[in-house]
């Protein structure tokens, strides 16, 4: 039902569905819930304790305290990536994610579905990455930031502010450059709406105008609602 390499470590608190592939020297410990048909590459670590100073680190890998990790279905986690247990809540990854090698997902992060994180991208604690966002190679995200749905973060960018839906950001610190038209088209926005959104992001780099436009655009208003809700 699941293909687990003999060298992998799967702790007694780990539960999983069917069709999962667990690669050589992967480590899954603590309260990890794994769905169906996930592909876990070699050297991946899921469920290690949150990296919090003063945390009572375990003396046995049979029981690792923390908020746990929940991973959905059909995700690909490539070599050496790390997903840590929650500290205040559960660290979550949705469905159909593509998490490339050496990616770091810290405690209490919440990733939506169809998220792509390129090699070496890193999320500090409590970050929210919403559906279909794409983080380029080596991108860094400050703790407690919210990356909206359909956002593209450029290679090597450092995100220190929340990023509204369907924006393209780049730089250190990152700034809005334009819209992510590719994802805007994928969610079904018309060519006219895509043009208006791109113009809004280009004319007002704070993103305020674009967010107001999205909130009044059929097929995109829910993205704004979810982004605002995640920001608290």
DSSP class of 217:
S
Helix/strand/coil percent split, the chain, to 5: 15, 30, 55
Q: What is the pTM of this model?
A: 0.96
pLDDT band of 212, cuts 50, 70, 90: very high
Q: What is the pLDDT of residue 168?
A: 98
pLDDT band of 59, cuts 50, 70, 90: confident
CA 116 to chain CA mean position, Å: 7
DSSP class of 24:
T
Task: With a cut of 90, say whether residue 195 has pLDDT above it.
Answer: yes
Find the catalytic residue in 84, 107, 114, 126.
107
Task: With a cut of 90, say whether residue 12 has pLDDT above it.
Answer: yes
DSSP 73-115: SS-EE-TT-EEEPPSSS-EEE-SS-EE-TT-EE-TT-EE-SS-
Find the catalytic residue in 125, 136, 148, 207.
125
Tokens standing for 70? Answer: 């929940």
Q: What is the pLDDT of residue 98?
A: 98
Cα within 13 Å of Cα(142), Cβ side: 10
The span from the CA of 182 to the CA of 202, in Å, is 16
Mean pLDDT over 191-214 rounds to 95
Q: What is the pLDDT of residue 118?
A: 98
The count of other CB atoms within 10 Å of the CB of residue 66 is: 23
Sign of dihedral through CA atoms 202, 206, 208, 214?
positive
Q: What is the pLDDT of residue 58?
A: 86
Q: What is the pLDDT of residue 178?
A: 97
Separation of first and last alpha carbons in the chain: 40
Find the catalytic residue in 108, 131, 193, 198.
108
Mean pLDDT over 143-147 rounds to 98
**Tens digit of each residue's pLDDT (9 = 90 or more) over 95-138:** 999 999 999 999 999 999 999 999 999 999 999 999 999 999 99
Helices (H), 87-207: 181-186, 191-203
Tokens standing for 104? Answer: 């770091």
The span from the CA of 58 to the CA of 180, in Å, is 43
What rounded mean pLDDT belongs to the chain? Answer: 96
State yes or no: is 125 an active-site residue: yes
The count of other CB atoms within 10 Å of the CB of residue 196 is: 17
Domains and CATH numbers, the chain: 3-126 (2.160.10.10)
Mean pLDDT over 159-167 rounds to 98
The span from the CA of 149 to the CA of 134, in Å, is 9
Mean pLDDT over 76-99 rounds to 98
**Tens digit of each residue's pLDDT (9 = 90 or more) over 61-72:** 888 889 999 999
State yes or no: is 108 an active-site residue: yes
Tokens standing for 105? Answer: 């997902």
């Amino acid at each position: 039902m699941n293909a687990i390499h003999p060298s992998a470590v799967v702790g007694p608190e780990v539960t999983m569905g069917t069709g999962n592939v667990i690669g050589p020297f992967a480590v899954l410990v603590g309260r990890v819930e794994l769905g169906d048909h996930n592909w876990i590459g070699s050297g991946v670590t899921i469920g290690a304790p949150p990296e919090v100073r003063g945390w009572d680190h375990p003396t046995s890998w049979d029981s690792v305290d923390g908020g746990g990790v929940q991973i959905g279905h059909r995700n690909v986690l490539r070599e050496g990536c790390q997903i840590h247990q929650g500290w205040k809540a559960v660290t979550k990854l949705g469905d159909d994610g593509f998490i490339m090698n050496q990616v770091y997902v810290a405690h209490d992060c919440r990733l939506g579905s169809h998220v792509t994180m390129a090699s070496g991208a890193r999320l500090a604690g409590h970050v929210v990455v919403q559906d279909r966002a794409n983080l380029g190679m080596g991108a860094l995200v400050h703790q407690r930031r919210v990356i909206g749905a359909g956002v593209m973060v450029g290679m090597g960018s450092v995100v220190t502010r929340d990023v509204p839906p369907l924006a393209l950001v780049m730089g250190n610190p990152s700034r809005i450059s334009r819209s992510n038209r590719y994802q805007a088209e994928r969610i079904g926005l018309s060519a006219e709406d895509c043009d208006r959104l791109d113009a809004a992001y280009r004319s007002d780099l704070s993103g305020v105008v674009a967010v107001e436009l999205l909130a009044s655009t059929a097929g995109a208003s829910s993205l704004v609602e979810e982004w605002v809700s995640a920001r608290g």
